[in-house]
Amino acid sequence: MDFARLVTPDGQHALAEARQLLGKDRLAAITALRERFDPGLAADALSQAALRERAVAKFGEGAWGMYFTAAGLEQATRPIVAARRAERLGASRNVVDLGCGIGSDLMHLGGTGIERDPDTAKCAELNVPAARVIPGDAQDFDLSTVDTVFCDPARRSGGKRVFNPRDYSPPWDWVVSLPERVPRTVLKLAPGIDQSLLPPGCELELVSVDGDVVEAAAWCGPLARVPRRATVIRKGVAHELAGTGTRRAPVGEPRRYVYDPDGAVVRAHLVAEFASTVDGVLGDPSIAYVYSSIYVENAFSRAFEIDEIMPFSLKRLRAALRARDVGRLEILKRGSAVDVETLRRELKLGGTNAASLMLTRIAGDPVAVILR
């Protein structure tokens, strides 16, 4: 994409017109644009306007003034997460973002961004005029005078997500050795990162936004404060739970309430820490549902009152849900092999009430729990 052209007055007009044409089919839109602009600019403006429209979900209305590549948008950190991270890092003399993408983190970090993909680097330069963006390979950057490193390696290759850290770019071995060179290092990682691969002594933070676990971050060297932290952001407000990640929650009989901990709490291995805040126990040592006799309003879980617990049986469950005239059913499961969609079909619900159902195991036995 010719970004240099898009930023000219002609390019800006093309972008504004392309935005107005976004609802139309692509052929009609491109034909209309070509009447006013040359074919290359018309195509770039339409693609960029479409990316901006997609970016609104992540960046809000500000996306209409930003520049994106498709992969750059896909991998960009959500602004609320980037802003919190930069705030925790505080003022830094010389921070470098190794693999800065379109600059979502760089916007909050300031300093220098290195980006290998030339189009994406151009976007970062346009999106973060206050930063210095260097197109090139992060591995070639001289870190000797750097005070703080942020690295968010690409977890995609050829448009597909990669799950093995060894396929990250820059390469994992290099990424994980960064704290040896610059102790104040933060690495952004996939939420499912194999925790045995982390740099020794780091703090692993798991972050969720409105119920979705969006990332993990390893805070290295002097930046580590606790072994594990869950940051749960709901409706724009962040709540933090910290602990060792090795504590075991007590196990006991189910009680009146059940708490379904947020994915960030579960992935940070902080279920025991959470359970102690609600005086709770697990019904099964390997399953992260927490039972308690008390109801405690909190940001780290969803809470339900238990209506009935029964051994799992389709016939019995169907009868119980029909007796409650249930038509709409939310199904939660942990530790159950039941296929939720098949079960939903087999239940053939036709009632007028809504209910929640939990499929799990208690003391090793499969159970269905009807929730209020």
Ligand X SMILES: C[S@@+](CC[C@H](N)C(=O)[O-])C[C@H]1O[C@@H](n2cnc3c(N)ncnc32)[C@H](O)[C@@H]1O
Interface ranges with ligand X (CB under 6 A) = 72, 75-77, 99-105, 114-117, 120, 137-139, 152, 154, 169-170
CA–chain centroid gap for 306, Å, is 30
Of 11 and 170, the one with the shorter C-beta distance to ligand X is 170
Q: How far is the CB of 76 from ligand X (least distance, A)?
A: 4
Q: How many CB atoms lie within 10 A of CB 231?
A: 24
**Consecutive H or E run containing 39:** helix 39-59
Q: How far is the CB of 275 from ligand X (least distance, A)?
A: 34
Q: How far is the CB of 161 from ligand X (least distance, A)?
A: 11
Q: How far apart are CA 95 and CA 112, in angstroms?
A: 6
What contacts 345, CB < 8 A, 6 or more positions away? none
Of 75 and 356, the one with the shorter C-beta distance to ligand X is 75
Of 83 and 242, the one with the shorter C-beta distance to ligand X is 83
Q: How far is the CB of 143 from ligand X (least distance, A)?
A: 13
Of 1 and 349, the one with the shorter C-beta distance to ligand X is 1
Q: Which of 146, 70, 84, 80 is nearest to 114 (CA)?
A: 146
Of 124 and 287, the one with the shorter C-beta distance to ligand X is 124
Of 104 and 336, the one with the shorter C-beta distance to ligand X is 104
Q: How far is the CB of 100 from ligand X (least distance, A)?
A: 6
Could you give the count of Cα atoms lying within 13 Å of 61 in the half-sphere of its Cβ? 0
Q: How far is the CB of 237 from ligand X (least distance, A)?
A: 21
The DSSP call for residue 154 is B
How would you write 222-288 as a 3-class SS string? HHCCCCEEEEEEECCEEEEEEECCCCCCCECCCCCEEEEECHHHHHCCCHHHHHHHCCCEECCCCCC
